[in-house]
Amino acid sequence: MTIDNFNFAGKKAIVRVDFNVPLDENGKITDDTRIRGALPTLKKILSDGGSLIIMSHMGKPKGKVNPKFSLAQIKDDVAKALGCDVKFAPDCANADEAAANLKPGEVLLLENLRFYPEEEGKPVGIDKEDPAYDAAKKEMKERQKAFAKKLASYADVYVNDAFGTAHRKHASTAVIADYFDKQDKMLGYLMEKEVQAVNNILSDIKRPFTAIMGGSKVSTKIGIIENLMDKVDNLILCGGMTYTFAKAQGGHVGDSICENDKLDLALDIIKKAKEKNVNLVLGTDCVAADSFSNDAKTQVVPANAIPDGWEGLDAGPETRKAFADVIKNAKTILWNGPAGVFEFDNFTAGSRAIADAIVEATDKGAFSLVGGGDSVACVNKFGLADRVSYVSTGGGALLEAIEGKVLPGVAAIND
């Protein structure tokens, strides 16, 4: 079932959203992107004449009630965003009455799902090495099913619009779907858009396809790099991993970030790229700094000849041009991870060059997906988020999807 084809009139819908919004020390929301992201789905249900039960996690309360992570803190913001009153259920597993009393057009927000260990379904207080662990895990899985069944009992329809947690098989993100018929469960609009964006990158590829992987380490990106190697025409590897590649090929990287235990891996990636005819583009020059700070002294040096006492913190001008030239001609673009320490204003040029080239390609008709934590922060910092095709809201979920893994939150609806 798709959300567009469903008429929610007279139905109670329980919707899993990702309202894990950042709060300041006074419990005030500092960034409401995630609430805004869920609005199309929530408003569709209300405007059809349905009633709405909203559920989410916030933070990591580790299965215990903790006022610091209470969703009561954001109830008024949700009400304001929806333009209507929002009732609050202070115990998500005992909201039967509040749910039963909901009338069409009314909204109930459940307290943080992760106040119950059943949500994540991991046994608590027992070590993995403990001989009793397997039994505890089995018992917790049963409790998780009962918890999911309880949540499901509040509503006629289940909608999952929480892409940020789609890679987790939690009670509210996946297990709950077992308690609804196929025609009564669906993805929300945000989830649909995310799934479509990943599909554009992994299946419906327009060529040339250029992926830009940056960030600090190659080790955390290897799953994605390997999956992409079978799909891309051009693979730009930048950021801190530049120096692991430079050293692996016999270069001198001074004090740059470098994973010495991943040199073989870097050589293997270079070999695989050749075998698969992938144009691997690595940085040739860099902006080296004499300390890890915004105000450090800098010099442009070859990425494989960095003096001791200096560390590469950004892509150099020759590299920036090479990256931009490849990106500008692409028809499909994926960007994950910055080309330098973009948090320091003096080391944003590499990431900026990538972002500008992506915008140029997008203007010429390319599909561009920016996702995974820091690259999203980059396009936001540069004010370019509206100039790319899609900015993903899901960090870990997006990366797992790009690695080619099936997301339990999506599979639970579609299978």
Catalytic residue positions? 34, 217, 373, 396
Nearest Cα to Cα of residue 313 among 294, 283, 288? 288
300 lies in the site for ligand AMP, by CB under 6 A:
no
Nearest residue to the partner ligand AMP, using Cβ: 215
338 lies in the site for ligand AMP, by CB under 6 A:
yes
For ligand AMP, the binding residue among 145, 217, 272, 387 (CB under 6 A) is: 217
- To 5 degrees, how large is the angle CA 355–CA 347–CA 310? 140
Tokens of 389: 């095709």
376 lies in the site for ligand AMP, by CB under 6 A:
no
300 backbone dihedrals φ, ψ, rounded to 5°: -90, 125
Q: Which is nearer to ligand AMP, 123 or 239 (CB)?
A: 239
312 lies in the site for ligand AMP, by CB under 6 A:
yes
For ligand AMP, the binding residue among 208, 215, 254, 409 (CB under 6 A) is: 215
340 lies in the site for ligand AMP, by CB under 6 A:
yes
Nearest Cα to Cα of residue 309 among 296, 324, 326? 296
For ligand AMP, the binding residue among 155, 313, 359, 384 (CB under 6 A) is: 313
Stretch that binds ligand AMP, among 19-27, 58-66, 214-222, 229-237 (CB under 6 A): 214-222
With contacts defined by CB under 6 A, how many residues of the chain interact with ligand AMP? 16
State the minimum distance, in angstroms, from the CB of residue 225 to ligand AMP. 12
Query: What does the alpha-carbon distance between residue 24 and residue 63 come to, in Å, rounded to a whole number?
Result: 22
Torsion of CA 240, 242, 243, 248, to 10 degrees: 140
State the minimum distance, in angstroms, from the CB of residue 164 to ligand AMP. 16
Q: Respond yes or no on whether the N-terminal peptide bond of residue 208 is cis (omega within 30° of 0).
A: yes
Nearest Cα to Cα of residue 106 among 10, 4, 6? 10
Torsion of CA 17, 22, 25, 26, to 10 degrees: -50
| Binding region for ligand AMP (CB under 6 A) | 215-217, 220, 239-240, 257, 312-313, 337-338, 340-341, 343, 373-374
